[in-house]
Structure 1
Amino acid sequence: MDFDLKQIFTAFMVLFAVIDIIGNIPIIIDLRKKAGHIQSEKAAIIAGIIMVVFLFVGQRLLNFIGVDVNSFAVAGAFILFFIALEMILGITLYKEDDDGDAITASVFPLAFPLIAGPGSLTTLLSLRAEFLIENIIVAVIINVLVIYVVLKTSAKIERLIGPNGIKIIRKIFGVILLAIAVKLFAANIKELFI
């Protein structure tokens, strides 16, 4: 085990920006109104399990279909780039179907695909190309804890920050995510031409 605080922090920030749990507070509030109640523990744990399992199985899946990690990381960089553009410009490039009943609201669409969605799963494999797996797992666990706290206190956070505060946070994380996407693209595109 070779824990590196810098890698853990960077992986945490990347995942935090991609998952965008603060920016998703309005969606969480809507789900809570529709479903009546959201099981925060269940949603956070299921999202965490999906992410950790994909971190291990995703690599084998890629090998099975004949795609290397660097190619996947470049594809991931494009997805991060477009997610960042959505956050910065306030536009929607990708529309989620969010019709779920009260029983499944904690899992669909909250745990998957809102938290552990295409963006975060692609990001995990992209991070795997750069960081040690144990550091990524620690970053996932910290994110799951943050997600749980945010889900539990989403109504209070929304009142505290306000709609403008949420917009500002989204834009700040969008810029960070854009920079990370460019770095990820630059680091992995070279490997494809060697």
Structure 2
Amino acid sequence: MFATFLPILFTIFVVIDPLGLVPIYIGLSSHLEVHEKNRTIRRAVLTAFLVLFLFILAGKWLLQLLHIHPGSFCIAGGILLFIVSMEMLFGQATKSKVSNQEQQGPSDEEERISVAVFPLAIPLLAGPGAITTILLYTSTEGEIIPIMVMLVISVAFTLGVAALAMKGSHMVIHALGKTGVSVIERIMGLLLSGLSVQFVYDGLVKLHILSPGIL
């Protein structure tokens, strides 16, 4: 069980990338008062958790409804995660999480309130990469309930780290520096690239294109 949980936790953590969110959060919240920042963090984390929890509950049945074979989705998801890992390795803006338009800061009071939901919660915390990862794991054959429980714990833990990182954002930047955050992101990107290739291999096995144990 623990051997299954660790890869799930690691993948969710790397894809959501709570430490990498800190510089973006600082830019988005620079105009907010302290109490507004606290409300923004709570709202962003809660919204992201509800969105991801919905996909944890309904992900497997969504794939069945669309008649998508788990093996096919493993390959597609592995390719998407590989793109994310390349963006992390080369320090590019992560297009799978947020576009240039979505990174723009708010300009009036109404937008100040909504920044928690967009773009912090969606797509920065609960973006296509995180949703794809959840669908990958919920599409596996066998007992789904333990996988769903592990996903909920992993998402809750990662979002908790994201909340703490945002709350202490200036301390994180001061402790690690921009270079430190960049190095950590690249190491995570390298490890994620290996996991993404493993997803593609597992998909090929499920589609009976490769035999188990060929690698």
- TM-score over 0.5 for the pair: yes
Aligned residue number for residue 85 of structure 1: 86
- The equivalent position to 1:127 in structure 2, one of 116, 129, 137, is 137
Q: Structure 1 stretch 125-134 or stretch 142-151: which is displaced more?
A: 125-134
Residue 21 of structure 1: how far off its partner (Å): 1.5
Aligned residue number for residue 21 of structure 1: 18
Amino acid of the residue matched to residue 10 of structure 2?
M
Gaps of 5+ in 1: none
Aligned residue number for residue 213 of structure 2: none
- The equivalent position to 1:191 in structure 2, one of 188, 193, 206, is 206
**RMSD across aligned C-alpha pairs, in angstroms?**
1.8
Aligned residue number for residue 170 of structure 2: 155
8 Å Cα contact 1:15-1:140 kept in structure 2 = yes
Aligned residue number for residue 69 of structure 2: 68
- The equivalent position to 1:111 in structure 2, one of 98, 117, 121, is 121
SS at match of 2:47: helix
Normalised to the residue count of structure 1, the TM-score between the two structures is 0.90
8 Å Cα contact 2:88-2:94 kept in structure 1 = no
8 Å Cα contact 2:78-2:197 kept in structure 1 = yes
In the alignment, the residues of structure 2 paired with residue 193 and residue 32 of structure 1 have an alpha-carbon distance, to the nearest angstrom, of 49
Residue 58 of structure 1: how far off its partner (Å): 2.3
SS at match of 2:114: coil
8 Å Cα contact 1:9-1:139 kept in structure 2 = no
Q: Structure 1 stretch 162-171 or stretch 69-78: which is displaced more?
A: 69-78
Residue 92 of structure 1: how far off its partner (Å): 3.7
8 Å Cα contact 2:18-2:159 kept in structure 1 = no
Q: 1:16/1:93 Cα in 2 relative to 1: closer, same or farther (>3 Å)?
A: closer
SS at match of 2:157: helix
SS at match of 1:21: coil
**Structure whose alpha-carbon radius of gyration is higher:** 2
8 Å Cα contact 1:69-1:125 kept in structure 2 = no
Q: 1:164/1:141 Cα in 2 relative to 1: closer, same or farther (>3 Å)?
A: same
Gaps of 5+ in 2: 141-145, 210-215
In the alignment, the residues of structure 1 paired with residue 207 and residue 128 of structure 2 have an alpha-carbon distance, to the nearest angstrom, of 23
Amino acid of the residue matched to residue 74 of structure 1?
I
8 Å Cα contact 1:76-1:123 kept in structure 2 = yes
SS at match of 1:163: helix
Amino acid of the residue matched to residue 5 of structure 2?
I
